[in-house]
Amino acid sequence: VTVSLEKDGFMQDFFRKVEEVRGVIDKISSLVNEVKKKHSVILSAPNPDERTKEELEQLTVEIKKHANFVRSSLKSMQQNLPPDEQMNQASVDARIQKTQYTNLSRKFVDVMTRYNEAQVSFREKSKSRIQRQLEITGQITTNEELEEMLETGNPSIFTSDIISDSQITRQALNEIESRHKDILQLESSIKELHDMFVDMAMLVETQGEMIDNIEKNVTNAVDYVGQAKVETKKAVRFIAHQLKYFRSFIVLILMILAYSS
Tally of domains in the chain: 1
Burial class (CB in 10 A: 0-12, 13-18, 19+), 233: middle
Q: Which pLDDT band, with edges at 50, 70 and 90, does 22 fall under? A: very high
Is there a domain that residue 260 lies in? no
pLDDT given for residue 130 in this prediction: 76
CATH number of 173's domain: 1.20.58.70
Q: 196-236 pLDDT, tens per residue?
A: 666 665 555 443 344 445 445 544 544 544 443 443 344 34
pLDDT given for residue 70 in this prediction: 95
pLDDT given for residue 111 in this prediction: 93
pLDDT given for residue 132 in this prediction: 78
Residue 196 CB coordination number (10 Å):
26
Is there a domain that residue 250 lies in? no
Range picked from 84-93, 117-126, 190-199 for highest mean pLDDT: 117-126
Domain containing 182: what range? 2-245
Is there a domain that residue 254 lies in? no
Is there a domain that residue 88 lies in? yes
pLDDT given for residue 158 in this prediction: 55
pTM above 0.85, yes or no: no
Residue 179 Cα distances to 30, 40, 55, 253, angstroms: 25, 13, 16, 34
